[in-house]
Amino acid sequence: MNRRNFIRLSTTATGGLAIAMTVPAVAKGVLDKESFVANVLTEIHADGSITFMLTKHEMGQGTGTGVPMIFCDELGANWDTFKVVQALHDEKYKRFQGTTGGSSGLSSMWHPLRQMAASTREILIRSAARHWGVSRDGLYTENGFVKNPSTNAKVNFGDLVSIAPKVEIPDTDEIKLKDLKEFKLIGHGVQNRITPKIVRGEKHFALDLKRPGMVYASIERCPVYRGKVKTYDETACRQVKGVIDVIRVPEIYEDDDFIVRDGVAIIAQNTWAAMQGRKALKVEWEPGLNGSANNASLTKKMRALASVSGEKSNDYYGNFGDVEKAISEADEVLTATYENPYHAHACMEPMNGIAEFKDGHLEVWSTMQNPNWASEQITKYVNVPVENQTIHILPAGGSFGRKFYPEHVTEVAFLASKLNAPVKLTWTREDDIRCDYNSAFQHDNHSVALKDGQVTAWHTNVVSTKSWSPEPWFPYVVPNKLGEQHIIDSPLTPGAWRSVGAHRAAFASEGMMDEIAHKLGKDPLAFRLEMLGREIELGEDAQKHYNQPYSVDAIKKTRQVLELAAKKADWGKRMSRNSGQGLAVYRFSRSFCAQVVEVNVRRGKLRVDKVTAVLYCGTAVNPHLVKGQIEGAIIWALTSVLYGGMDFKDGRVQQSNFHDYKMLRMNETPEIEVHIVPNTDPAVGVGEPGVPPFTPALMNAIFAATGKRIRKTPLDMAELA
Amino acid sequence: MISIKVNGQNKQVEDDPQTPLLWVLRDSLDLTGTKYGCGIAQCGACTVLLDGTAVRSCSLPVGSLSGKEITTIEGLAKDDTLTDVQQAWVEEDVPQCGYCQSGQIMNATSLLTRNSNPSDEEIESAMSGNICRCGTYSRIKKAIKRAIKS
Ligand code: FES
Ligand code: FES
């Protein structure tokens, strides 16, 4: 991950807190005839309804429901008349409009929104006090009213809009946040806001919109990352019925995080004609530096680095003690390599967007996790300054990190700038699978020193293609630890995938934990608990590492989710022949998830019977949606184990669509049980934490059932035979 | 000019007869509830009813459809009253991103028309043609069972 991205990420990760300190919760109250503008996101209308601007991106994680719930509940407003409007990309929302990603959508808004809502609540209470001529003490809000328990009087928020701007704005220390027990929505749940529209098939995605006179585009892109168009012949293409134009789309390469592939766009009267036109286009490619890459050559490169020391990994992991010495003095050293292939996102909604360029003004409708970045790219590469852009952010039909990369927005904006009609760009499924921003190809090499039945040192050497952090992490107490990494150039476009790098690191370290437990003849659960609470002699650096609040907290929560998962899954119960239970735990962002997987393996056939997941996610704002995210994450991870992995040859991804890049289907889905650790902490992310523990828990279960240790995904069924 | 009947209405379209129904619905008739997911009959996102039976509109040339009744997701609810299947979807709050759901609902509708009381296995096998990348399968199954009861 380069520096620019780091800054972008850390702004999201910490921006929330910064906002909480600085947002004057009620901006200068303005009486706009019929409504009270409480702050940049909220307007209270005279009829009592409220309009709330959603600045986060709804991609299927329920963010578009959860975020407004926080505000509505803290305020004591009426959810039924709480209107949520997706905000345009706008400077005025800057502090709330950073990237939606890294499972931060809700957590970054939790505190600032509650502060803003509590402040608005205080204003309304003061307004009601003035309205009744009573003291504000004892007044409270509920369901869109301010209530006075001593007189049983109540007044609708809407009736206070003309008084509200006149009352004094409360100081920060006069604002009191609600106790979790007082919440009516948070923790109880409401219906996903998109459900009523979706079941009727109403327009919802950018792909559903239409502009008058709109034309349709499909782009033939170079199948090799960084390759170029050598020559192309559009003669036959122009003869295809419905084809209007052919436009060369030159490559934009900023760095590995932002690339518009070199290609040729077909413009037509409808999507189908554009796709047909593409088939008639003749292009010869110049494959460039990645033109000879394939799985085998990359694997070879990775293996060659397995025992070469690399750069030290992050402090999260912890580097301390003398690993070399401990290894040399060990009774035994366990070593293993865990291998991860590239994966595609394969969101059901392919990349798409609409753009219209008129009189120097560009209007765009698309799906994006990162509107600031999209806008920046349009300024830079389509030469439209921010003040001449209107960017509509539409919900995504799945994103999982894919729509963080806004090249589809740049592509369609570029096409619009060349046309005098609005244009809709649709990626085909083939484009989507072949030109994805893939998760990294990664080998995790672990060496663990054992002496007198104890783990004395842990060495990790991660070899990964360029990507976001490979994220080696674990909470277990080890006296000597060294994490190293090699980040090498990626022959496929590198990107962030659901759970970023955590799924790869978890597969290895939680697999390793299982290997050590079995080696030492210990129960995998008991061994983990022991490793979390070891009272052993630690050097100064190690003590410092384990005493930092982050580590203390991680140990506590890891233990919590593990113990509950074991209990819920009846860990250690008798299993029938050929069946086994496997366990794993991991953290993502500030959430923790433990899973117990039960499998049956007979005659080389794997059946995943049940998955029990326990999640710590702070306050579960919308428990039904939270559980859905964990179910989805498990299905996501199981898909990657069974069907994942890009095959590439001559730099070209070999798969192209759902027949050869398969997805798990209903008939293959195991029973999934999700439990949430009850607690009153601030809400943290839920979209990704369910992914990392699944694969190691599954492989550990396969080991329990068969004695076979699988250290590579996708799973080669022949290994189970 | 091709005449087709969509959601009870007669429509004239000028598309090439080879054009898959999916693109005629979406681009020409602006019925965008029906979704594109793969274009090769693998994912079910484009499912509509043809004379009451689920078909994949991405793989059905519009030229072959004159005289047939096509129902899309927009045509299910009558006078704003949801069908049992749609209602069950609301009650189970099935969607995550929602993109695959119209195809799922159309397929479930077709299943329950054919078989008013399918077993778990029959549900799974009938629904296995529809991909949900968000993984809402257990809720889809629950919704179908709820619809059976109503
Ligand atoms: S779009 Fe028709 S089955 Fe996928
Ligand atoms: S709900 Fe997102 S693909 Fe099914």
CA torsion through residues A571, A576, A577, A579, sign: negative
Question: What's the pLDDT at A107?
Answer: 74
Question: What tens digit of pLDDT does each residue of A333-384 get?
Answer: 999 999 999 999 999 999 999 999 999 999 999 999 888 899 999 999 999 9
Are B68 and B96 in a shared domain? no
What residues of A are in contact with residue B76 (Cβ under 8 Å)? 200-201
A201 Cα to the center of ligand 1, angstroms? 16
- Higher model confidence: residue A319 or residue A7? A319
Nearest-angstrom CA–CA distance, B52 and A20: 55
User: Diameter of chain A by CA atoms?
Assistant: 83
The answer to whether residues A214 and A268 touch, using CB atoms and an 8 Å cutoff, is no
Tell me the average pLDDT across A661-687: 94
Please compute the mean of the pLDDT values over residues A517-536 and round it to a whole number: 95
Percent of chain A with pLDDT over 70: 94
pLDDT on residue A474:
85
Q: What are the tens digits of pLDDT across the range A147-177?
A: 999 999 999 999 999 999 999 989 888 899 9
Quote the CA–CA distance of B12 and A401 in Å, as a whole number: 41
B93 close to ligand 2 (CB < 6 Angstrom):
no
A238-290 per-position pLDDT tens digit: 999 999 999 999 999 988 778 999 999 999 999 999 999 999 999 999 999 99
Report the pLDDT value the prediction gives residue A91, as an integer from 0 to 100: 84
Of B15, B95, B128, nearest to A192 by CB-CB distance is: B95
Looking at chain B, list the stretches that DSSP marks H as alpha helix, in order from N- to C-terminal side: 21-23, 84-91, 101-114, 120-127, 137-149
Q: Tell whether the model's pLDDT for residue A470 goes beyond 90.
A: no
Question: Which of B42, B130, B134 is facing A60, going by the closest CB pair?
Answer: B134
Inter-residue contact A554 to A591 (CB < 8 Å): no
Q: For residues A341 and A295, give the distance between their C-alpha atoms in angstroms, rounded to a whole number.
A: 9
pLDDT tier at A100, thresholds 50, 70, 90? low
Q: For residue B107, what are the domain limits?
A: 84-149
Structure tokens at A177: 């946040």
Interface test with A, best of B19, B42, B99 (most A CBs within 10 A): B99
Please tell me whether residues B7 and B70 are part of one structural domain.
yes
Looking at the structure, tell me whether residues B57 and B98 fall in a common domain: no
- Quote the percentage of chain A above a pLDDT of 90: 80
Same-domain status, B140 and B110: yes
pLDDT band (50, 70, 90) for residue A503:
very high
Q: Are A453 and A536 in contact (CB under 8 A)?
A: no
CA distance A327 to A332: 8
Question: C-alpha angle with apex A369: A366 to A372, nearest 5 degrees?
Answer: 85
Same domain, B136 and B95: yes
Map tokens 């999640």 to a residue: A615
Q: Give the C-alpha separation, A464 to B118, whole Å.
A: 48
Same domain, B125 and B71: no
**Does residue A18 surpass a pLDDT of 60?**
no
Q: Which residues contact B26 (CB under 8 A, 6 or more apart)?
A: A271, B32, B34, B36
- Residue B12 sits in a domain of what CATH number? 3.10.20.30
- Give the 3-state secondary structure of residue A334: strand
pLDDT recorded at residue A256: 78
CB count within 10 Å of CB A707 equals: 9
User: Which DSSP state fits A491?
Assistant: S
The order of strands in the sheet holding A145-148 is A140-142, A145-148, A153-156
Task: Decide which of A709 and A58 is more confident.
Answer: A709
Question: What is residue B135's three-state secondary structure?
Answer: coil
Determine the straight-line distance between the first and last CA of chain A, rounded to whole angstroms: 40
> B88 and B71 in one domain?
no
Query: Is residue A4's pLDDT more than 50?
Result: no
Residue A5 has pLDDT above 70, yes or no: no
pTM value is: 0.94
Q: What is the ipTM of this complex?
A: 0.98
Residue with tokens 């921010």: A386
Query: Per-residue pLDDT for A205 more than 80?
Result: yes
> Does residue A236 register a pLDDT over 80?
yes
- Split into its structural domains, chain B has a count of 2
My answer on whether B100 and B131 are in the same domain is: yes
pLDDT tier at A678 (50, 70, 90 boundaries)? very high
Instruction: Band the pLDDT of A554: cuts 50, 70, 90.
Output: very high
* Final residue belonging to a domain, choices B75, B109, B134: B75
Cα B95 to averaged position of ligand 2 atoms, centre (Å): 6
Place of tokens 């007869």: B17
Residue A27 has pLDDT above 70, yes or no: no
* A41: region left, alpha or beta (phi > 0 left; psi from -120 to 50 alpha): alpha
pLDDT at residue A16, rounded to an integer: 25
Average pLDDT over residues A624-640: 97
B54 and B110 together in one domain: no
CA of A520: how far to CAs of A286, A453, A513, A697, in Å? 55, 6, 11, 19
β-strand partners of A220: A264
Q: What is the pLDDT of residue A11?
A: 27
Q: Which chain A residues contact residue B124 at CB under 8 A? A: 666-667
Residue A637 CA to its chain's centroid (Å): 14
Residues 6+ apart with CB under 8 A from A714: A341, A640, A641, A642, A643, A644, A645
Name every residue whose Cβ is closer than 8 Å to that of residue A454 and which is 6 or more positions away in sequence: A536
Q: Is 50 exceeded by the pLDDT of residue A583? A: yes
Examine the fold and report which residue of B75, B103, B122 is the final residue of a domain before the chain moves on.
Answer: B75
- Using the mean position of ligand 2's atoms as its centre, give its distance from the Cα of residue A280 in Å: 33
* Alpha-carbon gap, residue A494 to A506, rounded angstroms: 19
The two structure tokens encoding residue A324: 């070399």
Query: Which residue among B42, B93, B140 sits closest to A657, beta carbon to beta carbon?
Result: B42
List chain B residues with pLDDT less than 50: none
Place of tokens 């803003």: A116
Confidence of residue A24 (pLDDT cuts 50, 70, 90): very low
Residues B10, B35 within the same domain: yes
Query: Taking the CA of residue A185 as centre, how many other CA atoms within 13 Å lie in the half-sphere pointing to its CB?
Result: 23
- Same-domain pairing of B69 and B27: yes
**pLDDT score recorded for residue A315:** 64
CB contact under 8 A, B131 and A658: yes
Give yes or no for residue A298 having a pLDDT over 50: yes
Could you tell me the domains of chain A?
7-199 (3.30.365.10), 206-290+351-426 (3.30.365.10), 296-343+438-720 (3.30.365.10)
Note whether A203 and A236 are within 8 A (CB).
no
The answer to whether the peptide bond before residue A714 is cis (omega within 30 degrees of 0) is yes
- Is the CB of residue A693 less than 8 Å from the CB of residue A586? yes
Do B100 and B60 fall into the same domain? Answer: no
Interchain proximity A657–B33, CB inside 8 Å? no
Residue ending a domain, among B75, B105, B121, is B75
Measured distance between the N- and C-terminal CA atoms of chain B, rounded to whole angstroms: 42
Distance, C-alpha A39 to centroid of its chain: 28
Q: How far is B88 from chain A (nearest CA, A)?
A: 10
Ligand 1, atom nearest to B58 Cα: 2
- For chain A, what is the total number of helices (H) and then of strands (E)? 17, 30
CATH of the domain at B91: 1.10.150.120
